[in-house]
Amino acid sequence: MIYAANLKCNHTKKSYADYAKKLSNGLSQNSNSVIVFPPFTALSEDKFNFTQGAQNFYPAQNGSYTGEIGSQMLEEFEITTVMIGHSERRALGEDEPFLKAKFDYAVSKGWDIIYCIGEDDITHMNGSTKEFLSDQLANIDLNYENLVIAYEPIWAIGTGNSAKVEFITEILDFISSKCSAPLLYGGSVNITNIDEIKAIKSCDGVLVGTASWDADKFLEIIKKG
The answer to whether residue 45 is catalytic is no
Indicate the residue type of 206.
V
| Residue 35, strand partner residues | 4, 51
Could you tell me which of 144, 153, 195 has the C-alpha nearest to residue 174?
153
Opening angle at CA 194, ends 221 and 201, nearest 5: 125
| 54 backbone dihedrals φ, ψ, rounded to 5° | -105, 130
Half-sphere exposure of 203 toward its Cβ, with a 13 Å CA cutoff? 24
Active site residue 166: no
Instruction: Please report the beta strands in 19-144, taking only residues with DSSP state E, as ranges in sequence order.
Output: 34-37, 51-52, 81-84, 112-117
Query: Which one is catalytic: 45, 75, 86, 94?
Result: 86
- Rounded to the nearest 5 degrees, what angle is found at the Cα of 81, between the Cα atoms of 78 and 85? 140
Q: Which residues are catalytic?
A: 86, 152
